[in-house]
Amino acid sequence: MAGVIEYPNISLISLRLLSFTILPKQAFLGRHTQVYKNVPAAIENDRSTITQYLSNDVQHRVADEGATQIHNLPQTETPINNPPVPTDDSAKIHSIACSKTRLRLETPFINIRTPKDALMVIYDLLEITRHMYLTYQPLHCNLNCSNVFSMKVTEAMISPPAGITKTGKIDNQFCSIRHLLNPSAEQYETSTLLLDFDLTYQKDRKMEVPRFQARAVRLNGPDKRLCFDRHKFYYNAPALVDLALPTYATLLPDRLARFPCEKVTATTIKFHDPQENIHKPWHHRLHHDAESAHWLLLWWAITSSPPNSPATLIGTALWIVLAGSSSDGREQLITCSTLDNRLDPVYSPLENFLSDSWKSFSEDVFWATEAPYTDSEYVHESFQRYLLNFLVDRQDEAFMNSRKHQGLQKVKPYDPSNYYQGHYGYGGHR
């Protein structure tokens, strides 16, 4: 190895920057992603300074010694040219050698075994995308079950992040949910693994998974539904529970200052008429990735059930709304009061959490004109507080540690004579 620069788990795996050249490779043993990191301060106009890659071999997992043999294949570690490689002390190594990172992927998000683990992965997924955006300005734009993983904590790196924020914000540190729940854990200790930042720039929208897209992204534009008298109702970020507030205030004081802890109340804000000439450009924003994380959690919850629970089936209409791609009716899965029993009874406490946390996404912040709703981190902060409060209050309850069956739930056969009764939930098998 030459010129090894240490990065935390989140930076090492999850970078997709304008100043990066990232080349995905296909190999017979799995997908290999090469990352060439540019450091303008050290080497001007040079795009290949550090080479890193992942071996994505989920179906045929290999042991460390097997992975070492894979790494010896020359086609997996050939840099595109021969630039100087900067090290931590700014020394330059003129060598074609490259640093390599070997990671064995563990559990895909959909196969995470307990609600507690799923919630913790989602919290750190939000922290990862938030930290990456503030520090380097990338957006993932395509969060789904195939690129969010859970690793064993012993395999996750816990070194502190490096880099200076490009947004000028002081509070840009990564703070994992494990550290917030247990201060004796390392601040950067996370089991969340996020891949596919290298696919962000590919314009083929077919690569995106509609069921996990934010509603505005699926529309390819902001939500233009008019409310009464052209007002939007935005909810404040929730107040932190008493057990969480002291630790949060110590570790993340800037976030508390920008997003004061208040009761969850709606704030009425007048917004621009979408029919008028609007000069505010629309594009994928940070809060769209937060909404994708919420859909990812909903998907996990709906498709999960403990192995020893009575046989249950997912309602056909519920499945069509969630998995369909022709029209977007997903919001009714959360907001419609008639759609009870959407989850397996063992995991039913998650229904209230999913409904409560939806307040973070109920209105499109594209139209917001007042702080804190105009802050790029507002939606992330709000959703993360809901997650933290729920985990602090209920992490030791039985349902939170009830292991799910590894397979997905089956869908109830379509019955046109019984479309509404029991059709959106698991109906008829309880």
DSSP code string of 161-196: P-S--SS--S------HHHHH-TTS-TT---EEE--
Q: How many residues does the chain have?
A: 430
Total domains in the fold of the chain: 2
Q: Give the per-residue pLDDT at 390.
A: 98
Same-domain check for residues 153 and 14: no
Is residue 70 a contact partner of residue 55, using CB atoms and an 8 Å limit?
yes
Q: Is 30 left (phi over 0), alpha (psi -120 to 50) or beta?
A: left
Residue 118 lies in a domain: no
Q: Do residues 94 and 154 share a domain?
A: no
Q: Shortest CA distance to 192 belongs to which of 278, 297, 118? A: 118
CA angle 270–276–281, rounded 5-degree value: 85
2 falls within a domain? no
User: What pLDDT shows up at residue 151?
Assistant: 79
d(CA 296, CA 317): 19
Q: Which domain holds residue 67?
A: 9-105
173 lies in the same domain as 49: no
Q: Given this model, what pLDDT does residue 274 score?
A: 54
Encoding tokens for residue 285? 């924003």
Do 289 and 189 lie in one domain? The reply is: yes
Same domain? 274 vs 325: yes
pLDDT of residue 156: 45
One domain for residues 50 and 142: no
- Whether 113 is covered by a domain: the verdict is no
pLDDT tens digits, one per residue of 185-237: 888 888 888 876 655 544 444 456 788 888 888 888 887 765 545 667 788 89
Query: In terms of domains, do 313 and 343 share one?
Result: yes
pLDDT tens-place string over residues 129-159: 898 888 767 788 888 888 888 877 644 444 4
CB atoms within 10 A of CB 5: 17
Q: Is residue 329 part of a domain?
A: yes
Q: Give yes or no: residues 64 and 180 share one domain.
A: no
Query: In terms of domains, do 70 and 138 share one?
Result: no
- Alpha-carbon distance of 85 to 47, in angstroms, equals 11
- pLDDT for the residue numbered 209: 74
Please tell me the predicted confidence (pLDDT) of residue 269.
63
Q: Identify whether 160 is preceded by a cis peptide bond (ω within 30 of 0).
A: no
Residues of the chain below pLDDT 50: 1-103, 154-171, 201-206, 228, 277, 279, 338-339, 419-430
153 assigned to some structural domain: yes
Asked whether 302 and 318 are in contact (CB, 8 A), the reply is yes
Q: What is the pLDDT of residue 225?
A: 65
Contact between residue 37 and residue 136 where contact means Cβ atoms under 8 Å apart: no
Residues 39 and 132 occupy one common structural domain: no
